[in-house]
A and B are shown apart, each in its own frame.
Chain A
Amino acid sequence: MQIINEFRMTVDSKSINEGFSRAAVAAFVAQLDPTLDEISDIKMAVSEAVTNCIVHAYPTSVGKIYIYAAILDGGTVKVSIRDKGCGIMDVRQAMEPLFTTLGGERAGLGFAVMESFTDKISVRSVLGKGTTVTLYKKINGRAAV
């Protein structure tokens, strides 16, 4: 699909940037005139992916999180969130609802939320090299409501 518009940004893996990252992507997507539900779905999915980078990819250090968003022909939004952190040993297991390596305060629902609130998700991960999560969501917009 053809790219209509795109943007990139890099943020430090500090938890204060969770809110900034989802707000930045939401502001970029605003040009498609999305409904509040669509915006909320995107914010939630981006927040999960960025939190994973902070909590899992760089557990003991501050690294970089590379965020890319594009608006594709036909009104689909593509967002990829990439890190150069520790990588995921078993992606399928990591994506199972309620699976978490941390326990306690983490619900193990990050990927389940990303899957539920977007149309498509792909995860590529190499141990010791990092992880890229790519999310796709078609925005129908307020005109369609």
Chain B
Amino acid sequence: MNNLRILYHMARADFLERVRRYSFLLVLAATGYLGFAINRGDLYLELDGYRGVLNSAWVGGMMAASSVLLLTLFGFYLVKNTIERDRETGVGQIIATTPISRPMYLLGKWLSNTAVLLTLIIILALAALVMQLLGGESSRLDSWALLAPFLLLALPAMLLVAAIALFFETISWLRGGAGNVIYFFVWLFALISALESKVFWFDWTGLWITWQSMAEALTKVYPGYSGGFNFTEQALPAGGLLTFEWMGIHWTPEILLSRFIWLIVTVVLVLVSSLFFRRFDPAFEKIRKPQKSTSQTLDGMGEVPTSIQHTEHQPVQLSVLARDWPRFSFLQLLAAEIRLLLKGWPWWWYLVALGLVLGTLFSPLETTRAELLPFAWLWPILLWSSLGCRETHHNTRQIVFSTPHPLRWQLPSAWLAGFLFAALMGAGAAVRFLLAGETLSLFSLLAGALFIPSLALVLGVWIGSSKPFEVIYMMLWYIGPFQKTAALDFMGTSTATSWPMFAGLAVVLFIIAVVGRQRQLAD
């Protein structure tokens, strides 16, 4: 009973701390908008030109599938900060001194993560209800058919995502930006694998179970159905989609058991996380550069006099600075910004970066363009993501913002440092394009190099965190340059015609970043 009380209070305090933040209101608004967009038909589920009649089963199944698809990705980033917050606020140090066990602490945090995600699921479930009532295609409200996909598919998936987020937070090298990048690829791989394996035991999201059930009902009415299953925002075809009646998933004991197994996996994951959780012990905190000397005193001062009285005071005479400053040297400031950007990476990080630049220089032109350049511009993602939010993250805002002309000098030099690194990573490709006489590709490369630091800067300044850039850039990178979607291809790997748009965007984003910084300076 006592343990349950501890769990309740752990989860409650953490949940309240999160939902009382302004940013959570924005998340609620975005989720509400998603429900609205699905209701309006801006985003819909179609099976190769067919859709279900808007009955309880279809709206529930569709909305649950939408929420699983989006929240297994974005939900992770939303909740992956619960331990970090305790670390940053110092509350963790206090918690570490209480008798609470590591599994109990993590279970509480897991419940809080789940509660946050569940709040969003409830909003979407309500949107499904509204959708059926407004759709007017089925007047019979079947609450089980409407809610079962949320309860049996979305909920276990959210519990799992809540646990994965916790696991990432307990592993030091997955805690930061690297974890954000890795999760994106893990999520993509796991999602595709689950759908392609066609085995419901592996279907951690429940999407394949939903799809199969819908396809089965559809094939009975339209045997010509070819097997597609898409969430799309594209305009409806002329005449709309053909409809069929789907009465919902037939919840066999095997399906229920598979969902239950995922629940067990989730609990095991939370317990495994507790093995890696170090109770905020600073000795286990990630330090990029280990200290070479451990023989010095804690303050690193060597011998400290035992008595203050023994310390003789000799008046300090500081040299007088000529009063001809501030006389900014942009190059000096740029060099300092570049050093700040490049400091602290392990040697192998630079080696990979160098390898990518050389690879783009010496590989066949098409390999450079389509394969190596995208990776060369993915590798420094964590370097760029510090732009604009570094002052907030490291709490240097007060000392940086009280220097002369922080807007005129510091911000542009930070941006330029980011641009120069993008240019450096694209240098090999640039040489190849130049030698091949591909002027348009060169322009695309330049536009991409301008766009990346601008995007990082605007998100960093306005949101104050590196996470949004890491998530948005990765998605852009995957859909655009990697999957060759022309409209989002800011590197010009598939088409070199979008460069004016990205060059223009770079300018607009930089201006918005300047406005954001101006706002910060004006308090």
Same complex for A and B? Answer no
Taking Cβ atoms with an 8 Å cutoff, the residues of A that contact B are none
Taking Cβ atoms with an 8 Å cutoff, the residues of B that contact A are none
